[in-house]
Structure 1
Amino acid sequence: MNKSFTVLLLAFCWAALLTPAVAQRPKQTKQGDVYVDKKGVLRWQQGKQEVALFGVNYTTPFAYAYRAHQQLGVSPEQAIAQDVYHLSRLGLDAFRVHVWDIEITDTLGNLQENEHLRLLDYLVAQLKQRGIKAILTPIAYWGNAYPEPTNTGPGFSSIYSKQQAYTNPRAIRAQENYLTQFLNHRNTYTKLLNREDPDIIAFEVCNEPSYRKPEEPVTSFANRMAQAIRATGCRKPVFYNIAENPSVHDAILNANVDGLTYQWYPQGLVSGHTLRGNFLPFVDQYPIPYQKDARFQRRAKMVYEFESADILQPVMYPFMARSFRSAGFQWATQFAYDPMAIAYVNTEYQTHYLNLAYTPSKALSLLIASRVFHDVKRGQSFPRYPADSLFDAFRVSYRQGLSEMNTAADFFYTSSTQTAPRQAASLQHVAGVGSSPVVRYQGTGAYFLDKLAPGVWRLEVMPDAVALRDPFERTSLQKIVTQIVWNDQPIRVTLPDLGAAFTVQGLNEGNTFNGTATNGNVVLRPGAYLLAASGKTTAAWTAQTVVNNRKLGEFVAPPATNLPPQVVHTPAVQATAGQPLQVMAQVAGADAADSVMLVARSYYGATRVLPMTRPTLLTATAAVPAELMRAGLLQYWIVVRKPQQALTFPGGFAGTPRDWDYFHNEHWEVSVVAPNAPLTLFNAQDDKEQVDVARLARSSYSDYVTSAAGTLNLRLLVPTPRTGEPANEPGPAIALRAYLGQKMQARATALSGFKELVVKARASQPGARVKVVLATKDAAAYSVAVPVTEVMQEIRVPLASLRPDALLLIPRPYPSFLPLTFQTTAAPKPLVLSEVEVLQLILDAGAEGTAPSLDIESIWVE
């Protein structure tokens, strides 16, 4: 062999050993422009592969997000760079935003070179560095006030409404002018024109327009806007919204556009509280009414916004991504990723809440959903729920609050799991919250393990996130909803090529940790670390080494929330006399050496002090003994005792309830009832803040009224449509939904003895069609018609009379063409009360010319 060749070969092999290489699944070519082929498939110009991109909307350059960063003194550039790092960390490759034209134009549509436009340029440049593609929507029609009261933008959207935008000649000319200038705008950072940047792959003309018949002006307007874009020389696909105005969908199908855009809010928006229960049936499919229309088939399909609003469960996104792919979508972007700087209060959009640091499990479900979107084939079909909870490499479990991806190379999970990785020895990437057979971790933040070479891994650990309040209630910059805690937490990593005595070296700025694991265990603070098997040389890996568009030493996390110790606890709704009551709480800010105590008493009884055990640094638990659980009222407090201080919760007051001068009235309490006492499912007086009313008929509404006896009733009313309005369609007109999970759990041992369902109500007219539905944890629904009369009375029906039925999907899915009911495909079974977790009460529209109403005082079982 030639000597010089031998030296060259050895040098090549040595370089290969030292070069960072993270094994990845085969990826699509994501370079250059895209086009729409004759069959409506979006493809890359290079390689002709199908496009599949998944990500988020993100709004820091504009509107409230911009103002909030200014108010908090946070640099928008720094915030954008940090958030884009997290988007990359979550494996996202798509970004979309409706540009607030009101902030970057004048009334004639002239583009304003201002701070908002510069920050959009900066955001696009940051995304480009991370390999994230963009579709921009230049026209939003939005004011910039929300959630504050006053618009401040000077642009054309400040003087033209959505309805005027497509009919007023001056408004149309302003939009054409603006589109021309926006497409020809040169990015301050990339130096590229928007229309020529290969990482801006397409444009959606406008965000959620508002149209009505006739259709000709709608088509004409869409064509003029598309032509304004193309007249700049732009050859990128032009998308147009079709889902917002289904009554004029033909107008868009007839327009000269390349793609169609949709949104999905499967259980509506702005419930005002966290929605609980099994919502997987709501995202089981995304049927489009005109799928067989040739005009539809030759257009590419994009989901510009989607969200499981008012829900924290980490199970919705993977199902949504699968349903999108089944429906043929090639782009989907969640609305909206919360900027880290304001995610602690969730003020940007109250009904949305997603951030890697503050909602770690939900964020990892988005990571898994991204893989679903990329790995599931366009148009691939699946069985209906619940048979499709396990599909391809993915598993979604509502009961366990868990989404998983498990392949030979990747193991991702949103919550603690017993699932073993498919091939532990071949793993390349692990990401999770909680514990698994690979990682044992007591913290509540997310972590990521990425293999760099055999026996060399990068570990990234986020700080603990503790939910303090319901993030979907009314928000304020003064109301912290999630606390960040930087704890030293034990972590055990079990990976075959690392062994049990791997070395650990801090990578991120200021992280000087250097140690060795014992039996795979090490105690770490949040940060980035290099893990290496014993004896491995790691000189080739430094904080500056770049892998997958990220430096190994990069680490982004919010600082610890400046709060004293906190205890978060929700008391049981009821408890059973003579049975111990388990009390569990989250405790933040208490060190391992601090003690936590439960102080409990019957209402007039002496207090008992019960030590609470600490299964983890963030949790505490104790059992109230059976002898204290007498029928009546149990009151209790939780005390965190530090070396120089005792704090009592609720309230966090100094001192303890047994101190002679402890005067605070705040406490938790639980009604303790006899084992055979009835169980209330709904009470108008007590449950009004935790139920949802779905107004399905056009004119229906609800209110709270008092009866002749002075008791509070929930009134469901279906008024007669006004003159000129169409009559209400037959079927459900208004419905009540109540989540029962906590109530059923509190009385679990008594449920098998209940035989009757009792409704105390009255109707405004005889023959009102009222149905009660009980739905199980698996979304199997059982219903019975209730004969409500005009007299307030207790109507009793045997539980055995409930029969399998379709589940009414409330809150109402949006867009409105989506199904309103779901029928489980599982074999019918008798109703088991212990499986029930949702109550629905449905009032049908009355006969034409009638206005039925229903007053409900309470519903219970006994």
Structure 2
Amino acid sequence: MQKLFLSLFFFLSCSLMVAPAAWSQQQAVPKGDVYVDKQGVLRWQKGKQEVALFGVNYTTPFAYSYRAHRRLGVSPEQAIEQDVYHLARLGVDAFRVHVWDVEITDTVGNLLENEHLRLLDFLVARLKERGIKIILTPIAYWGNGYPEPDTAMTGFSSIYDKGQAYTNPRAIAAQERYLTQFLNHRNTYTKQLNRQDPDIIACEVCNEPRYHEPAAQVTAFADRMAAAIRNTGCRKPVFYNIAENPQVHEAILNAKVDGLTYQWYPEGLVSGHTLRGNFLPYVDQYPIPYRQDKRFTSKAKMVYEFESADILQPIMYPAMARSFRAAGFQWATQFAYDPLAIAYANTEYQTHYLNLAYTPSKALSLLIAGQVFRQVKRGQATPAYPTDSTFGSFRISYREQLSEMNTPEAFYYTSTTRTEPRKPAALRHVAGVGSSPVVRYEGTGAYFLDQLAAGVWRLEVMPDAVQVEDPFAQASLRRTVTRIEWNTQPMQISLADLGQQFTVRGLNEGNAAQAQAANGAVAVHPGVYLLATSQQKTTVWTSQTRLGTLRLGEFVAPAPTVAGLQVVHKSYPQVAAGQPLRLTANVVGLAPTDSVLLVAQHYYGRTQTIPMQRGAYPLFEARVPAELLYPGQLRYWVVVKQGSKTTTFPGNVAGSPRQWDYAHPEHWETAIVPAAAPLPLFTAATDYDQVELGRIGEGSYADYVTSPATGALAVRLFGKPQTEAGAADNRPAMSLRAYFTDKVQGRHQDLLNSKELLLTGQASQPGTVIQVVLVTKDAAAYAATITLGTDHQTVRVPLTSFRPAPLLLSPRPYPSFLPLTFQPATQPPVLRLADAEVLQVVLPAAPAARHVDIGSVQLR
């Protein structure tokens, strides 16, 4: 009996110690409904605490995502199960989606009990199991095609556009009928009505409507839609979009709704390539123009969509979360989390890319951002960038490409960090990518450590992710942008209670691993493991033991990418003559015994074969000696040797360029130039698909043209006449933004020795003034003005002419009421050229139409 009692006591103690680990996914979320108090604060009915929920949008039941899963032979139910597990693992406690009404209604607004509605029910049921709260937007107004053509649409949104939706009596009646039936719909799996489900905490009436004056008609429509919801007996708060139509915001402030919804795309959408540079100033604040209006302060605030579009940097989400809280938001959901089955190609919405397996660092930044959102108080003011980079338990660093959360119990980081945990002995949760003082890891996937009891931890290791294509370029399911590799990687763990000689036991299905760590080090394959000191009996912990809303043995990861060898490399446009050159390449698909060589050749000159050394996975590097780098052109190839097989890149061709009959023409090349040669920052002929052209003035645009004087390609910035006040104060009409760090890396010393900037171009009007701006890694802008005439010319500007100036936020932030410029809290008075990384050319607005053609910008 005593032995039985002791065993039971041990079991209960261990079970109690498992429970706090739920904090690593979600902090305790109250159950039940919410309400909006008289001060516009969203509160839980039970306990009256303020709501603070953070998460994602996710779309598998509908539209392209649904079709893509079917096309690939993937069960949508299985996909939802897997993705919701990852969302819980990332700490998500909020889910929102605009329902594709066009797929679940007929043209008069009757709800159709079909596959899409059933899958939405299934998704809601799975979210509820993980403790994730839900806000649904029943009306989307969208077709279901993007990025494909629309197909098989049955609903009222297929015959009424956004402009008709609030003016056509039949469209209005269809929406009322649909809202009534949707809220009275009984979930197939939970058996609850949508209007009664305590985990569906509110409704947002419609997604991004399009309105215009008169405002009274807009208010009347919003009131009618809110009444349709309340007439079902639904007592949940009703939210309404106000940010999409700022010109009629008064109409929504006057509407009988409980909350207001906003979005944030701080650097625009769909650039067609990865944006590079420091975009933290773009998310420094979210000022709402009418924030002092009593009609605004009496309503709750929700961010229905946000994203750092076309950016992979793992630093944006935590900064955005802090700005959301400063602005008073209590709900924020990213748009949109990529389903695991199609994330390899990023086809759903190419400007967005977020998935735990495929974008591990960015996903960990979402985990950290959720904690920022919950820990920063609503309305808490923060200083301006860059002095706001460390706040509370959080740190954000552009230069280190790092977001961190460091509390006594939890240590989360998105990239390799040297930061010491605040209280190592108190740690209960660790999540990271790369290495830290707690975990040294050579893989590129995310990992999670959660303490189950003193000396007992759960370790989850995701497979390696390697980006092989630009994920924000043209989307196609036939194009893999990120590879998944199931490598066995060394991991060294330093946890005070675990010691150096812990045991390792596989927990997930098919994982029979058994190992003993030596000096805290063990080789791990993707999966889930139980780590324990030798003194701990671990039979009580099984794959089915609960860890908050997770089970210990749960593990979801994509299969390895079947793609063979692949070498990813981008050559420098220029390198300095007479200086040794370090070249790197990411090589995937290798076995440990394979070797990698660099074959380097001065054009029609000497050729050398140089062994490439393994660096941090998957990087290889070699140093080209100075003797090969006299002025001219360097051509080179990467050669992979696998036993008797030799493969050359670029081209993935059998054989080696050193063989007499190697006839494949592809190679990498770079110009070798003397120090006196100009250093290119922007060249229209080669950079047209890697720059951002920002339209700011109404009707302004950009195009590429050929110069009448030279026949060379130039970018044309065209400013339409601006009659508003902005034209009088040199408000921008168009801008060019070019990130140039990769262009100058091969000529670093020449950069430091540069004395002047050279701009080649011409204008349509004599005496046209433009602004040229150099922006540093710390987002400090320095500007000089240039006057162009109608003749093709090269203008020289001494670098000493550049003075501190506000940074133009281009691509332009959306919504359009957000600031267009940024002034950092601190800025050195003189430009430090070694820190410069971005060029901007700005055409101010003017009363008359005009344009400038820019062929190139260089340093000398």
TM-score, normalised by the number of residues in structure 1: 0.97
- State the secondary structure of the residue aligned to 2:613: coil
Q: CA deviation at 1:8?
A: 7.4
1:527-580 deviations in whole A, cap 9, x for unaligned? 000000122110110001011111100000000011111111111221111111
Matches within 5 A, 1:527-546: 527-546=527-546
Alignment check: 8 A CA contact 1:697 1:729 kept = no
CA distance in 1, matches of 2:363, 2:7: 44
Alignment check: 8 A CA contact 1:29 1:46 kept = no
Alignment check: 8 A CA contact 2:11 2:540 kept = no
Q: Which moved more, 1:762-771 or 1:273-282?
A: 762-771
Q: CA deviation at 1:851?
A: 1.1
Q: 1:758 to 1:617 in 2, by over 3 A?
A: closer
**Counterpart position of 1:839:** 839
Alignment check: 8 A CA contact 1:813 1:819 kept = yes
Q: CA deviation at 1:196?
A: 0.5
Q: CA deviation at 1:705?
A: 1.5
Q: CA deviation at 1:644?
A: 3.8
Alignment check: 8 A CA contact 1:60 1:66 kept = yes
Matches within 5 A, 1:10-49: 12=9, 15-17=12-14, 19-23=16-20, 27=27, 29-49=29-49
CA distance in 2, matches of 1:415, 1:644: 38
Q: CA deviation at 1:593?
A: 1.1
CA distance in 1, matches of 2:345, 2:238: 36
Give the partner amino acid of 2:797. Answer: V
Q: CA deviation at 1:149?
A: 1.6
**Counterpart position of 1:620:** 620
**Counterpart position of 2:685:** 685
Alignment check: 8 A CA contact 1:20 1:541 kept = no
**Counterpart position of 2:719:** 718
CA distance in 1, matches of 2:10, 2:607: 73
Q: 1:436 to 1:840 in 2, by over 3 A?
A: same
Matches within 5 A, 1:344-359: 344-359=344-359
**In the alignment, structure 1 residue 855 sits paired with structure 2 residue 853:** yes
1:162-187 deviations in whole A, cap 9, x for unaligned? 00000000000000000000000000
Q: CA deviation at 1:829?
A: 2.6
Q: CA deviation at 1:859?
A: 1.1
**Counterpart position of 1:464:** 464
Matches within 5 A, 1:636-647: 636-647=636-647
**In the alignment, structure 1 residue 815 sits paired with structure 2 residue 812:** no
Give the partner amino acid of 1:496. Answer: A
CA distance in 2, matches of 1:410, 1:516: 25
- State the secondary structure of the residue aligned to 2:738: strand
Which structure 1 residue ranges, 5 or more long, are not aligned? none
Q: Which moved more, 1:781-790 or 1:68-77?
A: 781-790
CA distance in 1, matches of 2:614, 2:811: 38
**Counterpart position of 2:271:** 271
- State the secondary structure of the residue aligned to 2:751: helix
**Counterpart position of 1:736:** 736
**Counterpart position of 1:109:** 109
**Counterpart position of 2:333:** 333
1:650-691 deviations in whole A, cap 9, x for unaligned? 121111111222211111111111123210111111111111
Q: CA deviation at 1:22?
A: 4.4
Q: Which moved more, 1:8-17 or 1:123-132?
A: 8-17
Alignment check: 8 A CA contact 1:698 1:728 kept = no
CA distance in 2, matches of 1:617, 1:276: 22
Give the partner amino acid of 1:445. Answer: G
1:754-810 deviations in whole A, cap 9, x for unaligned? 111111111111231201000100010000110211211111111001100000000
CA distance in 2, matches of 1:697, 1:33: 45
Alignment check: 8 A CA contact 2:783 2:805 kept = yes
In percent, how many aligned pairs have the same letter? 64
Give the partner amino acid of 2:327. Answer: A
Q: 1:68 to 1:29 in 2, by over 3 A?
A: closer
**In the alignment, structure 1 residue 296 sits paired with structure 2 residue 293:** no
- State the secondary structure of the residue aligned to 2:470: coil
Q: 1:414 to 1:14 in 2, by over 3 A?
A: closer
CA distance in 1, matches of 2:252, 2:409: 43
Matches within 5 A, 1:50-61: 50-61=50-61
Alignment check: 8 A CA contact 1:431 1:449 kept = yes
Give the partner amino acid of 1:716. Answer: L
**In the alignment, structure 1 residue 397 sits paired with structure 2 residue 394:** no
**Counterpart position of 2:310:** 310
- State the secondary structure of the residue aligned to 1:377: coil
Q: CA deviation at 1:305?
A: 0.1
Q: Which moved more, 1:665-674 or 1:100-109?
A: 665-674
Alignment check: 8 A CA contact 2:720 2:733 kept = no
Q: CA deviation at 1:510?
A: 0.3
Alignment check: 8 A CA contact 2:803 2:829 kept = no
- State the secondary structure of the residue aligned to 1:21: helix
**Counterpart position of 2:368:** 368
Give the partner amino acid of 2:155. Answer: G
CA distance in 2, matches of 1:721, 1:19: 67
Q: CA deviation at 1:710?
A: 1.3
Alignment check: 8 A CA contact 1:202 1:238 kept = yes
CA distance in 2, matches of 1:149, 1:9: 66
Q: CA deviation at 1:12?
A: 4.6
CA distance in 2, matches of 1:161, 1:104: 17
Give the partner amino acid of 2:601. Answer: R
**RMSD (Å), alpha carbons:** 1.7
**Counterpart position of 1:280:** 280
TM-score, normalised by the number of residues in structure 2: 0.98
- State the secondary structure of the residue aligned to 1:23: helix
Q: 1:79 to 1:644 in 2, by over 3 A?
A: farther
1:576-629 deviations in whole A, cap 9, x for unaligned? 111111111111111121101111111112321100111244221111111111
**Counterpart position of 1:85:** 85
CA distance in 1, matches of 2:615, 2:341: 31
Alignment check: 8 A CA contact 1:637 1:650 kept = yes
1:701-720 deviations in whole A, cap 9, x for unaligned? 11122222212221111134
CA distance in 1, matches of 2:809, 2:320: 16
Give the partner amino acid of 1:128. Answer: K
Alignment check: 8 A CA contact 2:565 2:589 kept = yes
Q: 1:47 to 1:727 in 2, by over 3 A?
A: closer
**In the alignment, structure 1 residue 479 sits paired with structure 2 residue 479:** yes
Give the count of matched residue pairs: 855
Q: CA deviation at 1:151?
A: 3.3
Q: CA deviation at 1:728?
A: 5.6
Give the partner amino acid of 2:701. Answer: Y
CA distance in 2, matches of 1:224, 1:178: 13
CA distance in 2, matches of 1:805, 1:87: 42
Give the partner amino acid of 1:283. Answer: V
- State the secondary structure of the residue aligned to 2:562: coil
Alignment check: 8 A CA contact 2:40 2:298 kept = yes
Give the partner amino acid of 1:247. Answer: Q
CA distance in 1, matches of 2:205, 2:642: 59
Matches within 5 A, 1:501-580: 501-580=501-580
CA distance in 2, matches of 1:125, 1:230: 24
Q: CA deviation at 1:747?
A: 1.5
Give the partner amino acid of 2:854. Answer: I
CA distance in 2, matches of 1:561, 1:18: 38
- State the secondary structure of the residue aligned to 1:648: strand
Give the partner amino acid of 1:482. Answer: T
Give the partner amino acid of 1:710. Answer: G
Alignment check: 8 A CA contact 2:60 2:80 kept = yes
Give the partner amino acid of 1:330. Answer: Q
Give the partner amino acid of 2:850. Answer: P
- State the secondary structure of the residue aligned to 2:783: strand
Q: 1:305 to 1:14 in 2, by over 3 A?
A: closer
Give the partner amino acid of 1:113. Answer: E
- State the secondary structure of the residue aligned to 2:505: strand
**In the alignment, structure 1 residue 759 sits paired with structure 2 residue 759:** yes
1:707-752 deviations in whole A, cap 9, x for unaligned? 2221222111113479xx9996751000110001112322211122
**Counterpart position of 2:222:** 222
CA distance in 1, matches of 2:537, 2:12: 14
Alignment check: 8 A CA contact 1:577 1:673 kept = yes
CA distance in 2, matches of 1:833, 1:494: 41
CA distance in 1, matches of 2:644, 2:542: 43
CA distance in 2, matches of 1:27, 1:61: 28
CA distance in 2, matches of 1:656, 1:9: 69
Which structure 2 residue ranges, 5 or more long, are not aligned? none
